[in-house]
Amino acid sequence: MPQPNKGVPGTLSPDHAAMLARALARADLTPKARTFLQDVERKARRWPLTSKQAEAVARIADAPDFAAINGAALARLPDVLARLLPGGRVVGAEYECASLRGGEGSSLRVNLRTGRWADFAVAGAKGGDPVSLAAAVTGKPPAEAAHGLARMLGLGSAAHG
């Protein structure tokens, strides 16, 4: 991550300028995030970015594009599920397996059209998309699971907003 700009007030380091431009170019920005980034950009004209501002901008700029990753995973969902949940099988419009570890059984089911899933043997184990399933299977936060799923799908830098 770029270091805080310790240069002349009113200048933005090239790293910070690129990171801010990348963050502002995201199509999936919430209004709150866009307002925050515009505020940081305005303040950066007078003062160097603080380390907290730089970290926040980096998190936004490097966040996965959940919609793109989920869309790509849905297009190849049977293959994705076979890798995430080995030992399962397709039954009608669903993929079923024993649990979040895979295996033969029917406790966990994934709708092949929508990606919605539930493990009926575990209270509250359910989600609405492939990224949430990958997070549950791997035990990682959704952003990390999304990056892993993007790598599995060969999306590379297309997985960022």
Domain ranges of the chain: 14-63, 67-159
| Backbone dihedral region for residue 26 (phi beyond 0: left; psi -120 to 50: alpha; all else: beta) | beta
What is the CATH T-level fold of the domain 67-159, as seen in this structure? DNA Primase; Chain A (3.90.580)
pLDDT reported for residue 148:
95
pLDDT bucket at 102, cuts 50 / 70 / 90: very high
Q: Which DSSP letter does residue 47 get? A: S
For 117, the token pair is 């899933």
Handedness of CA 96, 99, 102, 104 (dihedral sign): negative
pLDDT digits (tens, 9 = 90+) for 22-41: 999 998 889 999 999 999 99
Determine the Cα–Cα distance for residues 120 and 44; give it in Å rounded to an integer.
Answer: 51
- H-state helical runs in 30-141: 31-44, 51-62, 66-75, 77-84, 130-138
- The contacts found for 40-45 with CB under 8 angstroms, 24 or more apart, are 44/5, 44/12, 44/16, 44/20, 45/10, 45/12
- Residue carrying structure tokens 């919430």: 30
pTM over 0.85: no
The whole-chain average pLDDT of the chain stands at 90
